[in-house]
Structure 1
Amino acid sequence: MKNLLYLVLLVLFVYGCGLTKNNGRSGRNANAKNDTVRIANDSLEYEIIIIEPGFNLFINSIARPEGYYSQNYLENKNRILVTDYNNRVLQPMRYNDNLYVQQINYDPQIDYGYEVNYLLYYYFVYLSRQYNQRFSVPTRI
């Protein structure tokens, strides 16, 4: 009987998690569909597409809220993390080529804005947690 109660509570918890809203992140210019996050800005001619199972859940439930880190902090972290990531893309025999598919074209001289830097940083946090990857700069929450 206890096990049945735990099972019912677990099912209700999972069902309840599916009903949660966007956590106040509706101001974001991202289209979330099937674990795909897309951010585009035609005036700067950039686009970020993150296709990663579970990333939407991660960003909406575990990540610190926008504004927690400064844009300067995120830009500094991303500059180092992108360099490390791109080096791994160039070494498919050493690093999993399923994780490091294509290079990220991130120019530190361009102001991508807070949103892009926030999502890019948390992509690296997600990557390090989900796939147990260690980058040259520790990613933490």
Structure 2
Amino acid sequence: MKNFVSFLMILMLAVSCSPQQKIADNKENTTIKPEKNEDGEWDIEVLDSQYDYFLNAIAQPMNMYSESYLKNKNTFLVSEWNSYYFSGRYRNVIESSIDYNPQEKYGLKFEYKLYQVFAYVQWKYGLKMNGLSQTDVR
């Protein structure tokens, strides 16, 4: 009887230590999609409190860029970001893909905020993004 109880306890310990299958299903709906705000403008929301600090204190001001320059950079950077996401590289930093259509006219403010997301990730996490200009790499 003593051996049976010991065996049962070891079996329960082994079962409780087995990996959960629900973790793998978490990747299904992890896409960042641009959305229009109440004013009808495209907007992106970043849920990291340090992003606002970065945007106001560290990032280059918006008037340093043209919309076409940012659109070209964002097209390349989104492609690079999504390739990292789908390949599984940098999983600790990149947790979602980005749904970005280069044919859509998002506006300067949105393009600027999206570009600064990539600069912020490099600033905070050290993830080198090849599409960033050298003036934005700090």
* TM-score, length basis structure 2: 0.65
Map of 2:90 onto structure 1: 96
User: Is 1:125 paired with 2:119?
Assistant: yes
Q: Gaps spanning 5+ residues in structure 1: where?
A: 1-37
Q: Relative contact order (alpha carbons < 8 A, sep ≥ 6): 1 or 2 greater? A: 2
Question: What is the deviation of 1:49?
Answer: 2.0
How many pairs does the alignment contain? 102
Structure 2 residue aligned with 1:108, among 102, 107, 127? 102
Give the share of equivalent positions with the same residue, in percent: 30
* 2:57 is equivalent to residue 61 of structure 1: yes
Unaligned runs of at least 5 residues, structure 2? 1-33
**Residue of structure 1 in register with 2:28 after alignment:** none
Counterpart-to-counterpart distance in 2, 1:70 and 1:113: 10
Between the aligned partners of 2:120 and 2:61, the Cα distance in structure 1 is 15
**Corresponding residue SS for 1:75:** helix
Change (3 A) 1:128 1:114: same
Larger strand share, 1 or 2: 1
**Structure 1 pair 49/116, CA: closer, same or farther in 2 (3 Å)?**
same
Scaled by the length of structure 1, what TM-score is found?
Answer: 0.64
- Aligned-pair RMSD on alpha carbons? 2.4
For 1:91-124, what per-residue CA distance to the aligned partner results, in whole angstroms no more than 9, with x for missing partners? 22xx222311111000000000011100000110
Query: What do residues 41-90 of structure 1 show as CA deviations (whole Å, max 9, x unaligned)?
Result: 36879552211241110001111222210001100000000000001110
